[in-house]
Amino acid sequence: MPSTHLSLYYHLVFSTKNREPWFTDDLLPRAHAYLGGCVRTAGGVAETIGGVDDHVHMLVSLRSTHRLADVLRDVKQKSSEWFHEATRRSAFAWQEGYAAFTVSRSNVGRVQAYIRNQESHHRRRSFQTEYRTLLERHGIAFDERYLW
């Protein structure tokens, strides 16, 4: 086979430090747009970005040459710098770590709908419950002591 063919989608989830509700309704769309720009700058495609005041969900597609940890480090660093500048609030920080789940092309639409529906979703379920459920559904072992 003379060429490489890829379909690399990732559902990424990360929260603000201590899950503090930093993103107000007017700031949230700007933050999501900036996060998308950070992904594009890294050479990826931000398919869908959503979330609420204390965490973010992103569906991104990346190249085979990307290292996921490096992409997320850069996205979190640059978006944190932007937040400090945009709000003049230096206490903002992202929580260390993240969750990353691979997504098959056949499930992209379902994941996009899930991400777009975050506001409604979190009227019924906390971030902690959502995060545990995502880890369990994907068969990822975790120790509750190190989640929060």
Give the model confidence (pLDDT) of 2-16 as tens digits.
888 889 999 999 999
Q: Does residue 1 belong to any structural domain of this protein?
A: no
Q: Does residue 3 belong to any structural domain of this protein?
A: no
Residue 31 sits in which domain range? 9-146
Q: Does residue 4 belong to any structural domain of this protein?
A: no
pLDDT band at 17 (very low <50, low <70, confident <90, very high): very high
CATH no. for residue 16? Answer: 3.30.70.1290
Q: Average pLDDT of the chain? A: 94
- Residues 65/25, Cβ–Cβ less than 8 Å: no
Per-residue pLDDT for 147 more than 90? no
Q: Which residues pair with 51 in a beta bridge?
A: 56
Edge-first strand listing for the sheet containing 99-103? 45-52, 55-61, 9-15, 99-103
146: DSSP letter: G
User: How close are the terminal C-alpha atoms of the chain, in Å?
Assistant: 46
pLDDT digits (tens, 9 = 90+) for 26-69: 999 999 999 999 999 999 999 999 999 999 999 999 999 999 99
pLDDT at 19: 92
Q: Does residue 26 belong to any structural domain of this protein?
A: yes
Q: Does residue 2 belong to any structural domain of this protein?
A: no
Q: Does residue 101 belong to any structural domain of this protein?
A: yes
pLDDT at 133: 95
Per the structure, the count of domains in the chain is 1
pTM, two decimal places: 0.93
Q: Does residue 97 belong to any structural domain of this protein?
A: yes
Per-residue pLDDT for 1 more than 80? no
Angle in degrees, 0-180, between the axes of helices 28-41 and 68-87, rounded to the nearest 10: 140
Q: Does residue 79 belong to any structural domain of this protein?
A: yes
125: DSSP letter: S
Which pair of tokens denotes residue 121? 């979703």
Which pair of tokens denotes residue 38? 């950070």
